Structure formats: structure tokens, C-alpha cells
């Protein structure tokens, strides 16, 4: 989906984007296939958003875009099974990182970050991510901002806090930096991209595909 600056800023005071932040654009990916665990462990400028036991034998890192239909499919079909079987049972630590492919995806991530700003855990962030993926077809439209606001206002956003969040220049830059680091340092070039204990895998993986990759690490 390509959203122009005019389409994105219509109907709201998104000052950070209107005053020269520029369109996200698509990054040039590096060619690294399986980066080092040391590189993978660096989250970027924003706090890490993770769920599951920090000492789990398997760590899965996902780079996703909020406007990516393949990412939405993974989170609607595969992720619930992954969470039930492995995250909630202490076998997997799941880390989610932003890789917006356009400004609208960046806006979704900014809202998720604003929602969790004062929360003691990352649960609210994942709740917002789940909400936006499950309603993607409703708000990833043209013009996008009115349906996006209608979607997130059920979580407590007012028009004022919605506008203020999307006007946060620093947050926009940090989301972009997270995306750029994934591209330049880790070789992420499409969404979703996963790293399962360091191994890079692209595409909306099924639970069977994930289980196959995890099997060597889960043997007792």
C-alpha cells in the first residue's frame, strides 16, 4: 500500500510528518542471512517489546509491518497457537519489532507505543498490535486516519491523544530507526521476517514450520 503525504496527514494535525519527517520509504536490505546473536540482541532506540519467559530455550524475533497482510495472517492464524503451546508454557520468548513499509504502518506502531507508554508491562502493546492486525482491512484504506482513530478509540484514545501521538517527531524517528537497523544490520528486506534462535526465515510461517525449526532446542 502506498500512502501519500497528503492522504496520510488529511484530517489530523500530524505535525511530525507534516513538517518534513518525510515518507518512510523502503530500505535497502543488507545481505546478511543469519546475523550474530549479539547483533540480534540489540533492539534499537525503543524499549524491547517481548512476551514469554526471558530464560526460554527458544527466542523468536519478528519484524513486521502493520499494513502487511501476510503479517496480519500470521497473527490471526499462527500466533495464537504459538502463544498457547509455547509462549504461555515457558518454552518461547517472543520479541516483536517494528518494520513499517509505509507511513500508515508507522502510525499504527506509534499508537501501540503510545498506548503502552505508562503501562508496567508490554501486554497492552501486544493487545494493540493484535487489534490493528485483526481490523487491518477496515483502517488500511484511503483515507486511513478516520477509520484508524475509530479503531483505537476503543482502547482509550481521544482525538487529542491520537493527534498528539502521531505528532511525536521523536517517536516517528525511533520507529524508523528500528526499521532501518533491521534492514541494514540484520538483512530484513520483507515482512514478516523471523529469527528463530538466530536463524532467519521470511514469510507468514505456519505453526508446523515453526515447530520444525524449534524442535532441536526443545528436546529434553
- pLDDT tens-digit series, residues 41-86: 988 899 999 999 999 999 999 999 999 999 999 999 999 999 999 9
Full domain range(s) for residue 67 = 41-218
Decide if pLDDT at 189 tops 50. Answer: yes
Q: Minimal CA–CA distance to 139: which of 209, 67, 45, 52? A: 67
31 inside domain: no
- pLDDT tens-digit series, residues 121-130: 788 999 999 9
10 inside domain: no
CA–CA gap between residue 212 and residue 128 (Å, rounded): 29
User: Quick one: cell of 115?
Assistant: 498506548
| pLDDT on residue 1 | 44
Calculate the average pLDDT of the chain: 87
130 inside domain: yes
What lies within 8 Å, CB to CB, of 80 at 6+ separation is none
113 inside domain: yes
Using CA atoms, how far residue 34 sits from 38, 56, 105, in Å, is 11, 20, 26
CATH number at residue 187: 3.40.30.10
What lies within 8 Å, CB to CB, of 107 at 6+ separation is 8, 14, 66, 144, 145, 148, 166
**Total domain count, the chain:** 1
Higher pLDDT among residues 201 and 15, named by residue: 201
Decide if pLDDT at 31 tops 60. Answer: no
- Give the global pTM: 0.87
19 inside domain: no
Amino acid at each position: 500500500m502506498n500512502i501519500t503525504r497528503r492522504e496520510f496527514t488529511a484530517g489530523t494535525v500530524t505535525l511530525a510528518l507534516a513538517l518534513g519527517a518525510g515518507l518512510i520509504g523502503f530500505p535497502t536490505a543488507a545481505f546478511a542471512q543469519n546475523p550474530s546473536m549479539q547483533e540480534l540482541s540489540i533492539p534499537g532506540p525503543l524499549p524491547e517489546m517481548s512476551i514469554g519467559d526471558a530464560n526460554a530455550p527458544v527466542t523468536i524475533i519478528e519484524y513486521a509491518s502493520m499494513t502487511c497482510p501476510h503479517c496480519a495472517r500470521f497473527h490471526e492464524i499462527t500466533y495464537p497457537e504459538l502463544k498457547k503451546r509455547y509462549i504461555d508454557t515457558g518454552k518461547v520468548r517472543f520479541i516483536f519489532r517494528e518494520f513499517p513499509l509505509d507511513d500508515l504502518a508507522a502510525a499504527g506502531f506509534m499508537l501501540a507505543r503510545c498506548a503502552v507508554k505508562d503501562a508496567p508491562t508490554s501486554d497492552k502493546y501486544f493487545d494493540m498490535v493484535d487489534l490493528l492486525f485483526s481490523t487491518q482491512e477496515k483502517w488500511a484504506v484511503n483515507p486511513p486516519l478516520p477509520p484508524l482513530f475509530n479503531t483505537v478509540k476503543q482502547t482509550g484514545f481521544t482525538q487529542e491523544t491520537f493527534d498528539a501521538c502521531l505528532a511525536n517527531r521523536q517517536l516517528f524517528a525511533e520507529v524508523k530507526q528500528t526499521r532501518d537497523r533491521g534492514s541494514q544490520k540484520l538483512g530484513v528486506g520483507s515482512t514478516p521476517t523471523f529469527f528463530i534462535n538466530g536463524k532467519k526465515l521470511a514469510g507468514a510461517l505456519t505453526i508446523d514450520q515453526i515447530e520444525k525449526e524449534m524442535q532441536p532446542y526443545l528436546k529434553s
